[in-house]
Amino acid sequence: VQWQRDTSIVCPDLNDIGSSITVTSSNFTGRTITGLEPGNRYTITVIVSNGAGSGPVSNAVTAMTIATAPTGAPGSITLVTVTLNSATVQWGEVPCLQRNGEIT
């Protein structure tokens, strides 16, 4: 079982992160993949093999893990302008790996 994280949603500045696990049972037809990041999209494929080699890659499925609240705060906040009845502020992004999903 192989998976690849699509970082374009949450962390477009990072390279895709992938991994694989090996299942060694001839009648095994499922596996839970753990250690995934919250609020990320993963593309999952399966390859089966035997003593003669590996077969073709399965069709890919896409899974989106459930988002959680961000674990990081926005970067430094700056007061840009103040008027009689308003204030404009700017702040830096939440660090990519602390977003835990798409910031909206």
Task: Specify the length of the chain in residues.
Answer: 104
25 or 73: which carries more pLDDT confidence? 73
55 or 6: which carries more pLDDT confidence? 55
| pLDDT band at 15; cut points 50, 70, 90 | low
The tens digit of pLDDT for each residue in 63-99 reads 889 999 999 999 999 999 999 999 999 999 998 889 8
Angle at 45 between CA 43 and CA 50, to 5 degrees: 165
**pLDDT attached to residue 50:** 86
Domain ranges of the chain: 2-98
Mean pLDDT of the chain: 83
The CA distance from 68 to 33, in Å, is 18
Closest CA to 33 of 79, 76, 65, 80: 65
| pLDDT band at 42; cut points 50, 70, 90 | confident
